[in-house]
């Protein structure tokens, strides 16, 4: 089996991939993540997932390289990580009472053969109506400033929702494991 490489510096993606019980390395790709003019959210996250995998291929020529990216579509605008408290408050205020679509793109590149498999996993989150005090308590408790949408669904962030809709809840955290397992099996990787 070729060696496995996660093209990410995300601790969340690293934790998710570790669930599969496979040995893997991580490397952070250096790519420009700016959206192109008129690029929709799905196209943006797919392009970035592919670019992350391709960027590391020359340095890892005998690997299965996993690239992933996630975009939140909020009021028709692609939104990323808030990076600070004020931006997180604003994101959660905008999400309050709304159904929000997350698109998580996945790319598995066999750097030896050049074969690339890609997919986009949509996942919808229905937020309950959030008042300012609830938002403040949540942000102080979890400080999810490095998470698109300003929440951690795997943690206390679950308390902010009314419903979740999608095929793979892992895609909401940043790495669609169900689809990744299929891609890995297509490359001959044996999984339980």
Would you say residue 80 has pLDDT above 90?
Answer: no
- Is pTM beyond 0.75? Reply is yes
Give the number of other CB atoms < 10 A from CB of residue 96.
16
List the catalytic residue out of 25, 32, 69, 132: 69
Q: Average pLDDT over the chain, rounded to whole?
A: 95
pLDDT band at 26 (very low <50, low <70, confident <90, very high): very high
Torsion sign, CA atoms 52, 57, 60, 63: positive
23: annotated active-site residue: no
Read off the pLDDT of each residue in 165-182 and give the average, rounded to a whole number.
96
Pick left, alpha or beta for residue 138 (phi over 0 → left; psi -120 to 50 → alpha; otherwise beta): alpha
Would you say residue 174 has pLDDT above 80?
Answer: yes
pLDDT score, position 177: 98
35-79 pLDDT, tens digit per residue, is 898 888 889 999 999 999 999 999 999 999 999 999 988 887 888
Domains of the chain (ranges, CATH numbers): 3-186 (3.90.950.10)
pLDDT score, position 192: 83
Q: What count of residues does the chain have?
A: 192
Read off the pLDDT of each residue in 103-109 and give the average, rounded to a whole number.
97
pLDDT score, position 145: 96
pLDDT band at 187 (very low <50, low <70, confident <90, very high): very high
Would you say residue 18 has pLDDT above 80?
Answer: yes
């Amino acid at each position: 089996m070729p060696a496995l490489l996660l093209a990410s510096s995300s601790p969340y993606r690293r934790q998710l991939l570790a669930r599969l019980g496979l040995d893997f390395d991580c490397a952070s790709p250096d790519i420009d993540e700016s959206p192109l003019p008129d690029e929709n959210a799905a196209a943006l996250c797919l392009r970035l997932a592919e670019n992350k995998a391709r960027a590391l291929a020359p340095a890892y020529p005998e690997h299965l390289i996993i690239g992933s990216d996630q975009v939140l579509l909020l009021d028709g605008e692609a939104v990323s990580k808030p990076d600070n408290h004020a931006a997180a408050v604003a994101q959660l205020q905008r999400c309050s009472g709304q159904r929000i679509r997350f698109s998580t793109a996945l790319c598995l590149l066999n750097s030896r053969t050049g074969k690339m498999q890609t997919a986009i996993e949509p996942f919808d989150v229905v937020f309950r109506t959030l008042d300012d005090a609830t938002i403040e308590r949540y942000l102080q408790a979890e400080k999810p400033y490095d998470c698109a949408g300003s929440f951690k669904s795997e943690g206390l962030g679950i308390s902010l929702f009314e419903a979740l809709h999608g095929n793979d809840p892992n895609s909401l955290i940043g790495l669609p494991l169900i689809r990744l397992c299929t891609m890995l099996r297509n490359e001959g990787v044996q999984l339980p």
